[in-house]
Amino acid sequence: MLKKIKYKIWLPFLLPLLFALFGLLFAFIGFSEFYNVAIKNQGSAYAFGGGYQWYYESESIYWKYNLVDGTLFLIAAVFTIVSIIKKNKRMFAAGAMGIFILFFIMMLNAKSAPYE
C-alpha cells in the first residue's frame, strides 16, 4: 500500500518550484523571441505594423519588449529559486507575487489589442 505523503514536507517545496518553473518558462519565451528577431534577423516571419498589440508596431519595439519581459521574468524566477534554497517564506511570497504581477501585465498587454 501507498504510504501517506507528508504534505508539510512537499507542499512548501513544490509550490515555489512551480512558480520558479513558470517564471523560467516565460523568461525562455521572451529571450527566444528576442533571439529570433534581433539576432537571427527573422523579423520577416512576423506581421509587424498590423492592428495587433502595441509591441507589434516594429521589429525594434518587439525585440526590446521581449528582452525586457524575459529579463524581468528571469529576475523573479531567480529570486524565487533563491527563496527555495534559503527556505525563506517572505522571499518566496515576493518572488511569486512578482511572477504573478508580470504574468498579469503580460495578459493585459495581450488584451489591449485593437482588433478590427
- Read off the pLDDT of residues 29-72 as tens digits, 9 standing for 90 and up: 999 999 998 888 887 777 777 666 777 778 888 889 889 999 99
Please give the pLDDT value at position 24.
Answer: 93
Please give the pLDDT value at position 3.
Answer: 55
pLDDT of 64-96, one tens digit each? 988 999 999 999 999 888 888 888 878 888 888
Q: Pseudo-torsion of CA 82, 87, 88, 92, nearest 10°?
A: 60
Please give the pLDDT value at position 71.
Answer: 94
Q: Residue 89: count other Cβ atoms within 10 Å of its Cβ.
A: 11
Quote the pTM value.
0.79
